[in-house]
Amino acid sequence: MPRKTRPVAIVGVGQTRHSSHREDVNQPELIHEAVRRAIDDAGVSLDDIDAVVTGNMEMFEGTHQPDMWQVLGNGAWGKPCLRVSTGGTTGATVFGAADNLVASGLHDVVLAIGFEKQQEGHTTGGITAMADPLWARHLQTGALTGMAALEVIDEFGHERARRAAMRYRVIMDQHAAKNPNAHRRFNLSFDMIDDLMQKSPPLVGELRLIHMCSQSDGAGAMIFASAERAAAINRRPPVWVQDHVTVHREETLSLSGVPTYDAHGKLETTTQRRAAEILFARNGIARPSEEIDVFEMYDPSAWWGLSWIRDFLLLEGDEHLQMVERGDIAIEGRFPINPSGGVTATNPIGATALLRPLEAALQIRGDAGAHQVPRTVRKALASGFGGTLWTVLMLLSKEKPDA
Amino acid sequence: MPPKPLSEELIHREHMARFPQRWSTGPVMGKFLKALRDEKRIMANVCPRCGRSQVPPREVCAVCRVAATQFEEVGPAGTLRNFDVVYYASPDPVTGQSREVPYATAYVELDGAKGGATFWHELHETDMTKLRRGLRVRAVFEEDGKRTGAITDIKYFEIIEGEA
């Protein structure tokens, strides 16, 4: 099992106000906003930063090696800088890379940046360009699929499944309404569910416009530090990176619900469930729905958000639907999910998977303002999603982990 | 005379990118495409260790990570394991044109394929209410002379009427 050389803390975070069109700034200027806010949040200066990790999905904006340009705004001038690009998981891989760099002892303070300016390119086209040119590109429609909905409907029935997905969506929007940085806030309420279920335009199958994630311009930045530097910086309570795991998959395995097996005869499962099994086992968490205080989940659609609750929390049967139906996932509920509003509200793709642990860190610090969950947050979970159905799962802690 | 102050207007620049691409298919995918073009056969490769089929074939077994060098024909019929009905007209990334909607895409477990892998292609159907998981479907090929060694040498899959 991987062991860190030393514990790593998050000492500062910053994000832009996310929007459909940040036309007032170019890419370096957008990033600079988030970096400036993280620097101010930590109470440090650029001189305190030893290295920078930055990421986005370049195919969206169509500018290669964008770090060369963004150095005008990201603080990396004269410093070691790593560029990361792993599709939708980019922000989470940036998170993991920054954590690894500090844990290794190579650097003491690392600035991690995720950003995207979706409006400068074509989102669906950029995602479609990931498809294999020889056998998939003629079919790929960006990230749009109704198969997740089909599976939930087949398992739980047309009415109950659609109602639960819409309930999930409304709760996410109500959370976004409390987050001043969120991109989309529609003022949805539960009495609109019947109407939305019928009238929201279908995109693919039962995936409707209202279920689907946003396309946003925005950036996020997080500052990682060794325990020694964190103690010296200490403007806000440090948040500790307890663990993170990345699970990939070969893209056609288990895609369609037909059981497939790995080389050890173990039934293939979703990357969400496999990541949860690994992360919780190696951190001694037996009942995640009871031992985790808040979960910022990368939910590209309300259908995936609903479905993945079961996988991430290692639940069975219809427990996840029950959680949504009871309102457990609301900010004031038993197991709050996405108090920030999540990805259906805000999605600057290269930043999105970094905003999840960023928001989780705010929750641990008690700094999330109007969307703060009303409890002491000791353990926070955050996930990233992207590529061909990969998962990154991150565990943050209020208490410093044992080395 | 002092210069007039510049306006507050934010200037935007627009550009449409196009660039030519040419992909080498390699011997494994190339064999698959040649079989489509010259023989109207769908070829999967098989892992020598676990026996899984992969279609389209890939050089290495995704589970065992050993070279999968043996080929077997699969299909042309199969079972519909999952599908999408697309209502949103997103542009075809290959041609740049918007597809006619609604259209359906299908994940088909081809007859003879072992281990559960499915094959992704278009499903041709005008009555989308017919679609459900488990239907029997079959590949429809382009006519002789029109196949070029592309995945679209299979035009689409269609529902086989009368088969449970």
Query: For residue A128, what is the nearest residue in chain B, using CA coordinates?
Result: B93
Q: Is B122 on the interface with A (CB under 8 A)?
A: yes
B19 within a domain of the structure (yes/no): no
Q: Is this complex scored with an ipTM above 0.95?
A: no
pLDDT of A252: 64
B120 contacts chain A (CB < 8 A): yes
Suggest the residue from B16, B33, B87, B121 to mutate for an interface test with chain A (most A CBs closer than 10 A).
B87
Q: Of A198, A30, A12, A41, which is closest to residue A118 (Cα–Cα)?
A: A30
Report yes or no on B76 lying in a domain: yes
Question: Which conformational region is residue B115 in: left (phi greater than 0), alpha (psi within -120 to 50 degrees), or beta?
Answer: left
Give A339's DSSP letter.
Answer: T
Q: Are B163 and B78 in contact (CB under 8 A)?
A: no
The CATH homologous superfamily for domain A8-123+215-227 is Thiolase/Chalcone synthase (3.40.47.10)
Query: For chain B, how many structural domains are there in total?
Result: 1
In a domain, B103, yes or no: yes
Alpha-carbon distance A260 to nearest alpha carbon in chain B (angstroms): 6
Q: Where are the domains of chain A?
A: 8-123+215-227
CA atoms of A284 and A29, how far apart (whole Å)? 43
φ/ψ bin of A277: left (φ > 0), alpha (ψ from -120 to 50), beta (otherwise): alpha
Tell me if B4 is assigned to some domain: no
Model pLDDT for residues A78-123, shown as the tens digit of each residue: 999 999 999 999 999 999 999 999 999 999 999 999 999 988 888 8
Q: Give mean pLDDT, residues A258-264.
A: 63
Cβ-Cβ contacts under 8 Å, B94 against chain A = 137-138
- Within 13 Å, how many C-alpha atoms sit on residue B88's CB side? 22
Domain coverage including residue B146? 26-159
- The answer to whether residue B101 sits within a structural domain is yes
> CB B118 to CB A125 under 8 A?
no
The predicted-structure confidence for B121-158, as pLDDT tens digits, reads as follows 999 999 999 999 999 999 999 999 999 999 999 999 99
Residue from the list B10, B81, B91 with its beta carbon closest to the beta carbon of A256: B81
Between CA B112 and CA B78 the distance in angstroms is 9
Q: How far apart are CA A156 and CA A147, in angstroms?
A: 14
Chain A residues within an 8 Å CB radius of B115? 260-261
- pLDDT tens per residue across span B15-45: 887 778 888 999 999 999 999 999 999 999 9
CA A62/CA A317 separation, integer angstroms: 44
In this structure, the number of other CB atoms found within 10 A of the CB of residue B73 comes to 15
Q: What is the C-alpha to C-alpha distance for residues A339 and A171, in angstroms, rounded to an integer? A: 9
Q: For the whole model, what pTM was predicted?
A: 0.94
B126 Cβ contact list (under 8 Å, min separation 6)? none
Residue with tokens 């930055």: A54
> Which of A140, A142, A256 lies closest to B118 in CB terms?
A256
- Please report whether residue B16 resides in a domain: no
Helix axes A319-326, A158-176, angle to 10 degrees: 50
pLDDT digit string, tens, across residues A172-220: 999 999 999 999 999 999 999 999 999 999 999 999 999 999 899 999 9
